[in-house]
Structure 1
Amino acid sequence: MKERLDLAEIPREKKISKNDFLERYVKPQKPVVIEHLIDDWPAYKKWNIDYIRKVAGEKTVPLFDGRKNISSEYKFNEPHLHMKMAEYLDLLEQGPTSYRIFLYHLLREVPALQKDFEYPKVGLRLLKQIPMLFFGGENSKVFMHYDIDLANILHFHFHGSKRCILFPPSQTKYLYKVPHALIAREDIDFTEPDFEKFPALKKAKGMVTELQHGETLYMPEGYWHQMTYLTPGFSMSLRAAPRNLPHLSKALYNLFFMRHFDNLMRQWKGQKWIDYKNRQALEKTNDRDKVS
């Protein structure tokens, strides 16, 4: 039998009070799926691919192709292609595609969509900036990463289903983190990992769930996450600044130094810089694993 990652199911709550959410999940920094948090949102009934095509089909959107992320040709979070939203949604419905929309301000481009949601009263000081949307087609994957601002995240999924794998920050030492970046090595398939090449993954202990339309995933500060769209669909995230002071310091470092340093090195060294970082991720993690 083929070995798999050590993944426990993420706990689920039908509904939950603010106090219980804070005490059970936010304070101990544990993820949870809340199944009926947004049933009263207009978005719960309205938001699907056909509706987005109707209200935003003519918008030009940035696309990311996961197959190209290891190239030095692109800067941090730089899109690989642009396309009309209607054309992209047609592409999603035609079959599997690696193209995704990542961190897109659709609600700013189509202000009417902002009336379809509200900020949940769950005890988090959610940032009131316009939230971003994420789209993916069947079998498209979001590489394993953690967010640059180490925020507490409420992640709402719409249209179809999406598999989410999470690891707490304590498991970073096993995940082949790339230096000067927020990602694990992108040649790792976290759905079927190569344990011969990446043996430290055997020790990593994570969590998994499948999100359905209208469900909310709470991801605590600095949690690693990898997403696989099992069907075409899209998600929206709301964020709250990290409550942990070291996490806040690290977030400021990431925002104001790390990403700019990495982009500078990409420009100066090109592919050699990318290859060097990937070698370091492999060698240091495997060396650390042998010692432990």
Structure 2
Amino acid sequence: MNLKQIERVKKISKSDFISQYVKNQIPVVIEELTEDWPAYSKWKLSYMKEIAGDTIVPLYDNRPVNHEDGFNEAHTKMKMSDYIDLLESKPTNYRIFLYNLMKEIPTLKDDFLWPDIGLKLVKQMPMLFFGGENSKVFMHYDIDYSNILHFHFHGEKQCMLFAPDQSKYMYKVPHALISREDIDFDDPDYEKWPALKNAEGYITNLKHGEVLYMPEGYWHYMKYLTPGFSMSLRAFPKNIAHLSKAAYNVFIMRHFDILMRKFKGQKWIDYKNEKAIQNTHQNLTKSENLAKSA
């Protein structure tokens, strides 16, 4: 794949952030946005264990989507203290995903500041994500097409992004928000997934306290290089087309997919995975034919 490093700035003004990145829908890493937050010095795994150790948390692993799974349904649960002990003892695939910190651990809201950066952030939806060394978050885009500020803490995390216009190369699964789960985006097999050779994206490694701006509808694949955790703040899409797609995803697509899983079972999952290949390769053939005739 063709990946370039995401642009980085130490700090940035509200006007520059909006004009250079939000309006142009280009990702950027802001390195020093959190340095005046209490979280910058406090948010380590040991702190999370101290204040939330007895909290039961939902955990997800890397198993493929199954027709019996509910939408975003956890694979198991564990006390936060036991989970952090696991993270610090050895690599694990178990992750915490979309954990609402305002609801579950209200004291954490005192540790960060809502950045005045030109985005109208949804105050009810700061979400936490935890992962062990080498755990991966499969390639996907978010159901609501939000503009996202993704803050990382404790360790290092690799982020790979692709703009929505690259979807034609991503082996997108129909009626879903994911690419084929059997693609290894760290080392893709181009004989099996030839369209990926045409995909143009971005990559960066986030370190403690850094924030990644992910524009609306961007595909993202995350890999924890060390145990750590992240927080996402989000703002609803500004693009009307993206807003309508978000509404479709939330109110129609998700429920249709759940219904089809119920009635067709694994055959529905297998059908979608096969269509992901057929659709992508058809688009690839069209693109190649257009290039030849140009």
Q: Same fold (TM over 0.5)?
A: yes
Partner of residue 278, structure 2: 283
CA distance in 1, matches of 2:33, 2:88: 28
CA distance in 2, matches of 1:257, 1:229: 33
Counterpart check, 1:94 vs 2:84: no
Is the 2:147–2:215 Cα contact (8 Å) retained in structure 1? yes
Cα drift, residue 220 of structure 1: 0.4
Q: Which runs of 5+ in 1 are unaligned?
A: none
User: Paired residue for 1:173, among 164, 168, 177?
Assistant: 168
Letter in 1 for 2:138: F
Partner of residue 53, structure 1: 49
Partner of residue 24, structure 1: 20
CA distance in 2, matches of 1:255, 1:238: 19
Partner of residue 156, structure 2: 161
Counterpart check, 1:131 vs 2:123: no
- After superposing the two structures, state which structure 1 stretch, 81-90 or 198-207, moved more: 81-90
Cα drift, residue 70 of structure 1: 2.3
Is the 2:159–2:204 Cα contact (8 Å) retained in structure 1? yes
Cα drift, residue 258 of structure 1: 0.6
User: Paired residue for 2:251, among 238, 246, 256?
Assistant: 256
CA distance in 1, matches of 2:203, 2:146: 19
Letter in 1 for 2:186: T
Partner of residue 290, structure 2: none
- Superposed CA deviations along residues 221-241 of structure 1, whole A, max 9, x for unmatched, are 000000000000000000001
Partner of residue 152, structure 1: 147
CA distance in 1, matches of 2:139, 2:234: 19
User: Paired residue for 1:9, among 2, 5, 12?
Assistant: 5
Letter in 1 for 2:30: I
Is the 2:102–2:124 Cα contact (8 Å) retained in structure 1? no
Letter in 1 for 2:50: K
CA distance in 1, matches of 2:271, 2:86: 35
CA distance in 2, matches of 1:205, 1:239: 24
What SS class does the counterpart of residue 189 from structure 2 fall into? coil
Backbone CA RMSD of aligned residues: 0.8
Cα drift, residue 93 of structure 1: 1.1
Letter in 2 for 1:38: T
Partner of residue 226, structure 1: 221
- Superposed CA deviations along residues 13-52 of structure 1, whole A, max 9, x for unmatched, are 0000001101110000000000001111100110000000
What SS class does the counterpart of residue 274 from structure 2 fall into? helix
Is the 1:108–1:130 Cα contact (8 Å) retained in structure 2? no
Letter in 2 for 1:197: K
Is the 2:130–2:228 Cα contact (8 Å) retained in structure 1? yes
Cα drift, residue 106 of structure 1: 3.0
CA distance in 2, matches of 1:57, 1:167: 36
User: Paired residue for 2:109, among 93, 114, 118?
Assistant: 114
Cα drift, residue 65 of structure 1: 1.0
CA distance in 1, matches of 2:85, 2:47: 13
User: Paired residue for 1:39, among 35, 38, 45?
Assistant: 35
- After superposing the two structures, state which structure 1 stretch, 226-235 or 279-288, moved more: 279-288
What SS class does the counterpart of residue 65 from structure 1 fall into? coil
- Superposed CA deviations along residues 208-258 of structure 1, whole A, max 9, x for unmatched, are 000000000000000000000000000000000100000000000001111
What SS class does the counterpart of residue 60 from structure 2 fall into? strand
CA distance in 2, matches of 1:190, 1:74: 24
Is the 1:30–1:220 Cα contact (8 Å) retained in structure 2? yes
CA distance in 2, matches of 1:15, 1:27: 18
TM-score, scaled to structure 1: 0.97
User: Paired residue for 2:236, among 238, 241, 250?
Assistant: 241
Cα drift, residue 270 of structure 1: 1.0
CA distance in 1, matches of 2:107, 2:121: 21
- After superposing the two structures, state which structure 1 stretch, 267-276 or 206-215, moved more: 267-276
Counterpart check, 1:194 vs 2:189: yes
Which stretches of structure 1, 4 residues or more, deviate above 3 A after TM superposition?
Answer: none
TM-score, scaled to structure 2: 0.96
Is the 2:125–2:234 Cα contact (8 Å) retained in structure 1? no
- Superposed CA deviations along residues 144-186 of structure 1, whole A, max 9, x for unmatched, are 0000000000000000000000000010000000000000011
